[in-house]
Amino acid sequence: MKKVLGNKKAIALFVLPPLILYSIIVVLPVLWSFYYSLYSGTPGLKWKFSGLGNYLKLFRDRNFLEALAVNLKYIGFTMLGQVGGGLLMALLFRFWLKKYKNIIRTIIFFPTVLPTVAVGQLFAKIYEIQPNYGLLNSLLSRIGLQQLVQPWIGQASTALPALIIMDIWTGIGFHSIILYGALLDIPGDIIEAGRIDGCSSWQLFRSILAPLLRPMLISSAVFSFSGTVKMFESALALTNGGPGTATRSLSMYMYSVSFTYNKAGYGSVIAIFIFLLCIFGSGLINLFDRKEE
C-alpha cells in the first residue's frame, strides 16, 4: 500500500477520473450559471449583458425575499425534527426497544425509500377536508375536536407546518439509522462505567454519549441541511408551492423565473445564491466540530 501511495502515477490514475467527472457534473454547471447570471433575458432571445444588474436586483425582489423566508423556516424546523427525532429514535433502539428493534427500525426507515410523489399523495389524503375528511380531520372530529378541523394544506397558516411534518416523517428514519450505528460504536464499558459512577440518564447522555456522538450528529445535520435547502420535490408534490406563495421555496422560484418567465440570467443568480447558501450553512454547521488539542 505504501508503495502504491508513493507512486505519483498511481495516485493520478485513481484521482483524475473522478476529478474529471466531478468537474463536468458540478464545477462546469456552476461556472456556466455564473456566466449566465451576468446576462438578462433568454439565450437567443433578448439576451444582453447586464453585468451585476441581476445581483443588485436580488435583494430588492419581494418574491425572492418571501421564498428565502419560507426556505429558512423550512430548513430550521425540518432539520430540528429530522436530526432530533432521529437521535431520539436511535437512543430508543439502543437502550429500550431491544426485543423488536429490527422490525421497528425497518418500519421507521421505510418512508425514506418511498417516492416523493407517493408520499405527497399520501399526506394530501391525510390532510384532506373535501370531498371527505382525511385521516387527520376524521380523527379530530371523532375525538370531539371539530373546531380544529381545517384545510391543512389549503390555507397559508398551516400549509408550511404540514409540509414540514411530512418531510420530518420521511427523513427521520435515515438519521435514526446512522445515529444508531454511531451509538453501537461506543464501547459498552464506557456506558457501564458512567452508570456505576451514579450518572442519571440525562447525565449519561450529556457527559458521555453526546460528546462521542458529536461528529456523527454534525454529519447528520449537514445531510439534513443539504437536503432541506433544496426544498423542491416534496413541496411540489404536496402543495405545488401554494396556497399562494406560502410554501414556494427558492428552488421553486428559480424554476419559475427560469422556465415560466424565461429569465435564465436572473434564475442563474438565484441558483448561485442557493449554492452559496448550501456552502455557508454546511460550513457553519462544521464549526461545531472543534477538536480539542
What domains, with CATH codes, occur in the chain? 55-286 (1.10.3720.10)
The structure's pTM equals: 0.89
The grid cell for 147 is 373546531
Q: Three-class SS string for the chain?
A: CHHHHCCHHHHHHHHHHHHHHHHHHHHHHHHHHHHHHCEEEECCEEEEECCCHHHHHHCCCHHHHHHHHHHHHHHHHHHHHHHHHHHHHHHHHHHCCCCCHHHHHHHHHHHHHCCHHHHHHHHHHHCCCCCCCCHHHHHHHHCCCHHHCCCCCCCHHHHHHHHHHHHHHHHHHHHHHHHHHHHHCCCHHHHHHHHHCCCCHHHHHHHHHHHHHHHHHHHHHHHHHHHHCCCCHHHHHHCCCCCCCCCCCHHHHHHHHHHHCCCHHHHHHHHHHHHHHHHHHHHHHHCCCCCCC
Q: What is the pLDDT along the chain (293 residues), one digit of tens a residue?
A: 555 555 667 777 778 888 889 888 888 888 888 998 998 877 777 788 888 888 999 989 999 999 999 999 999 999 999 999 999 999 988 888 777 778 888 888 899 999 999 999 999 999 999 888 999 999 999 999 999 999 999 999 999 999 999 999 999 999 999 999 999 888 888 888 888 888 888 888 888 899 899 999 999 999 999 999 989 999 999 999 989 899 999 999 999 998 888 888 999 999 999 999 999 999 999 887 765 43
- Rounded (5°) CA angle 252-256-260: 155
CB-CB neighbours of 240 under 10 Å? 13
